[in-house]
Chains A and B, each alone.
Chain A
Amino acid sequence: MNTPLTIKETQDGLKSKKFSAVELVDLYLSQIKKYNSEYNIFLTVTEEEAYKKAKDLDNEGIYSNPLSGVVTSYKDIFLTKGIRTTAGSKVLESYIPAYSATSVKRLESAGAISIGKLNCDAWAHGASGENSDFGPTKNPWNKEYVPGGSSSGSAAVLAANMSLVSLGSDTGGSTRQPANFCNLVGLKPTRGAISRYGVIAMSSSIDTVGSFTHSVDDMEIMFDVLRGEDGLDGIAKDFKKREIKSKFRIGIAKEYFTEGLESEVHQMIDDVRKTFEAMDIEVVELSLPHTKYAVPVYYIIQPAEVSSNLGRFDGIRYGNPRDNFGSEAKRRIMLGSYVLSAGYYDAFFDKAQRVRTKLIEDFDNAFEKVDAILSPVSPTPPFKLGKNTSDPLKMYLEDVYTASINLAGIPSLALPSTFSADKLPIGFQLIGPNFSEHNLFELGRRYHQEINYKPSVAF
């Protein structure tokens, strides 16, 4: 039997008794047993719990909830009650949470079967998965390449067909970039659309919960299950699904096409533009003049908030002492302390918050003219393991097309498009105004219909 790659296929198969939920779990687990040691995707596999939930679903035999029978897995920064949660760091290598994240609870009460916890850059710091204290995850499409990061395992797990959907986080691109590197749909939602309760905090004014799926339809189902108030995250709020537009206008920012953009990615964006135009969607050029300041702003505000959030890991309340932090966490904590310290606060932290306002104004102006902005996700196709590890600044530049979106709080949908000459996935993102997710889904769905897109896995 072939493993289904969409929620609909999964639930049709379950309802028509083509397969049972237990048989689905069998399939994913056999894939995990076969490939996990080679690709280093799961840090913890919850086989027993997965079988228990699958048996319960099969005994009930109804499969009518939005995610009934959907096998899911979580970046290891989502707290899972009674199941080890490490944040990819040796500091928390034996930490067992006393409660679960809202997102985990919502997926499980919608019928999803949790199968385990996924490798990631420690504390979600990174763009390649190589900062994990448990070793790097490899890209299932070619194991000499990175799967992207920091939600490295959350992307690789779908490409390796070890789970149907997964959760990650997106603070500066950590869901969209790995989604692109692994041929997946990835969503960075509007700030406040999905509760962050129970997700280990990195940068509290920017963090969002990210999701990974094989198709836009599945992303919409996930989003509608995850979103809304839970009374536990002060910024999480309910909102009405916006009316879906019939006519769209898309913008392209001239500042996005600079030296660092590799020609294959540039070419793909040109092709996507032509596809949209062929679909009778108007594409206009616009300007986001402060684009080049996004990464500098991000690498002031984010480390500042990291230094504060990681202050609580003192070896008393949680986990091991601070000398267990890896190099990247230490760099970011120190960078954050530096930009917040006396004598530097005004020149760095306060300045960055003011330039952040300018970045937001750029987007506000753009969304007066267009419904969405078409943009690369990463300036390059997936890169080789080890390529950027000796130069942290070079790794930070991976965030050039993603970080400004987080700073502005707006949503962005990463979409798979094609493969590079080296047979590695490349894709793009559609950025929208606050709470416009459903319109981004509509645009993404139409694009995939137009190119006759079919989900695929590496093996």
Chain B
Amino acid sequence: MAKLTKKEVLHVAELSNLKLTDTEIKKFTPQLDKIIEFVAILSEVDTEGVSATHQTTGLINVLRDDEVKTDEALTPDQALSGTDTYNGYFKVPAILTERSSE
């Protein structure tokens, strides 16, 4: 298997919403490369006709009645606790900027 490149590490970091420092890129690239090489051993297992296991419980579509359980529900204040809020809403970074005058 080809060596993991810096470009691939930066791509994966972007997919992961992580910003890496140069030191981290230097540290992680060989470490991730070694791990990927190790797990790639699975290619030698014959899995022709073998189905994939997603879970082990065998349960399918576990549903409950659609009823409000007030004793288990969080109050709006509880639901918003532990984060920055504004007028009872979550505060998020702006994704749009104001149009400049030009």
Contact = CB atoms under 8 A, between A and B. Distances in A.
Interface of A: 95-99, 191-192, 205, 231-232, 234-235, 237, 290, 292-293, 296-297, 299-300, 307, 311, 314, 316-319, 322-323, 325, 327, 330-331, 333-339, 341, 347-348, 350-358, 360, 392-393, 396, 407-409
Contacts of A354: 45, 47, 50-53
Contact of A296 (B28, B39, B56, B78): B39
Given A96-B81, A355-B42, A325 B18 contact: yes
Contacts of B35: 299, 331, 335, 392-393, 396
B38 interface: yes
A339 B55 CA distance: 18
B19 A323 contact: yes
B7 interface: no
A311 B17 contact: yes
Given A98-B74, A296-B39, A330-B18, A357 B50 contact: yes
Q: In which size bucket is the chain B interface?
A: 35 or more
A325 B9 CA distance: 17
A317 B12 contact: no
Contact of A334 (B32, B54, B91, B92): B32
B39 A357 contact: no
Interface of B: 8-9, 11-13, 15-20, 24, 27-28, 31-32, 34-36, 38-43, 45, 47, 50-57, 59, 62, 64, 72, 74, 78-79, 81-83, 90-93
A353 B19 CA distance: 30
Contacts, number: 150
A396 B32 CA distance: 12
Given A192-B59, A314-B17, A407-B53, 16 more contacts: A96-B81, A96-B82, A98-B78, A205-B54, A237-B57, A297-B39, A299-B38, A316-B90, A334-B13, A334-B18, A338-B8, A348-B42, A351-B47, A357-B52, A392-B31, A409-B57
Contacts of B41: 292-293, 296
A165 B13 CA distance: 40
B38 A235 contact: no
25 contacts: A96-B82, A97-B82, A192-B57, A231-B64, A235-B62, A293-B42, A293-B45, A296-B42, A316-B92, A322-B19, A331-B28, A334-B18, A335-B36, A336-B16, A338-B36, A341-B15, A353-B53, A355-B45, A356-B53, A357-B50, A358-B45, A393-B34, A393-B38, A396-B35, A407-B53
Report the 3 A-B pairs with minimum CB-CB distance, sorted nearest first. A409-B56, A353-B52, A354-B47
A330 B13 CA distance: 9
Contact of B83 (A316, A335, A339, A409): A316
A339 B52 CA distance: 15
Contacts of A355: 42, 45, 47, 50
Contacts of A316: 83, 90-93
Contacts of A352: 39, 42
Count chain B CB atoms within 10 A of each CB in A334, A335, A339 and give the residue with the most: A334
Nearest to A353: B52
A400 to B, nearest CB: 12
Nearest to B55: A205
A151 to B, nearest CB: 21
A352 to B, nearest CB: 6
Count chain A CB atoms within 10 A of each CB in B35, B55, B56, B79 and give the residue with the most: B56
B90 to A, nearest CB: 6
A351 B36 CA distance: 13
Nearest to A234: B62
B62 to A, nearest CB: 4
Contact of B28 (A205, A334, A409): A334
Contact of A318 (B9, B27, B83): B83
B17 A322 contact: yes
Nearest to B74: A98
Contacts of B82: 95-98, 318-319
B38 A317 contact: no
Contacts of A297: 39, 42
A54 to B, nearest CB: 27
A185 to B, nearest CB: 24
A95 B72 CA distance: 20
Contact of B56 (A331, A348, A408): A408
Nearest to A85: B82
A292 B92 CA distance: 46
A98 B81 contact: yes
